[in-house]
Amino acid sequence: MNKDQLAKVAQAMVARGKGILAADESSGTIKKRFDAIGVESTADTRRDYREFMFRTQEAMSQYISGVILYDETIRQNAKDGTSLVKLIEAAGSLPGIKVDAGVKPLPNFPGETITEGLDGLSERMAEYYKLGARFAKWRAVIDIADGIPTRGAILANAQALARYAAICQANDIVPIVEPEVLMDGGHTLERCYEVTEFVLKTLYDELYEARVFLEGTVLKPNMIVPGKKCATQATPEQVAAQTIRVFKQTVPVAVPGIAFLSGGQADVEATANLDAINKMAKLPWHVTFSYGRALQAAPQKAWSGKEANVVAAQKAFSHRAKMNGLASKGEWSKSLEG
């Protein structure tokens, strides 16, 4: 592996004031998003949607450090024939790629899942590097419910993440490691902390065992939040305090940055929580965002599949990107949302 290149790319991914756009929705997921706005999901509409975001100069050049793509997207060209990868690069952003094959039930572990996709991954990585990808993403999913998560399921997912990360680096691609503790269900803030702490400790044990170069990685975790169905919800300050506490307990300082997933939070909620984390403490990592819906919900609604709405949709995208860019520096305030 080229450690200097990996470290340089990882640092660029978490550059001050910038974050990562997760535009890696599978065909099934993007169809659900398009159904909600009355747009048919076709290769052309998916391209048109992502193209207008990648051509949003203010957002892409000032607030977006990298874009996670889906296999279809990394191979697509814009209407004028320019590859979408080239559009991203022209804005000064880094192309990335989702490489996992999704979650499947974990045998003998009822209610728990394992992420698949390791078979043939090294060969796919080599191809993605030629297509322009300089980082990748693999998502593990940990649910909280009665009797779960179990140690066995957490360990299996951590081992898969570590193996994926090692394969990435062998191909000079920076791995985003994403162990997502879901915010579904009725669990408390304290339970989320307890599970996340165990998940992250297990993950970094496995990354060490796999000899992963930590300076060439980016962590994409959940924040410490209560479940959506919990009777007691948390303020941004409570989320920030517990999130900071868990990362100080678990994440090595060699890791260059933490780029949070939004995990189902509303867009302004995700921004407020990120801002509170950055306002509360000086941390040894760059702490920023890697948001999907929290960046895209507003521009999707504004666009609604109509060419006439592209400018308004780009403005909506720029606004959300700017708000999160400010939050990544602890400089956001709710008054700016107007």
Tell me how far apart the alpha carbons of residues 299 and 319 are, in angstroms, rounded to a whole number.
9
Which amino acid is residue 103, in one-letter code? Answer: V
The CA-based angle 318-26-291, given to 5 degrees, is 35
- Residue 137 has phi, psi (to 5 degrees) of -140, 140
Catalytic member of 25, 51, 112, 178: 178
Q: Are 152 and 146 in contact (CB under 8 A)?
A: no
Catalytic member of 18, 98, 137, 220: 220
288: β partners: 259
Tell me how far apart the alpha carbons of residues 274 and 239 are, in angstroms, rounded to a whole number.
9
- Residue 286 has phi, psi (to 5 degrees) of -70, 130
Asked if 178 is an active-site residue, the reply is: yes
Question: Closest Cα partner for 73 from 63, 61, 87, 60?
Answer: 87
Q: Are 92 and 113 in contact (CB under 8 A)?
A: no
Peptide bond into 221 cis (omega under 30): no
Question: Closest Cα partner for 329 from 13, 8, 15?
Answer: 15
Tell me how far apart the alpha carbons of residues 267 and 330 are, in angstroms, rounded to a whole number.
16
Q: Are 140 and 180 in contact (CB under 8 A)?
A: yes
Active site residues: 178, 220
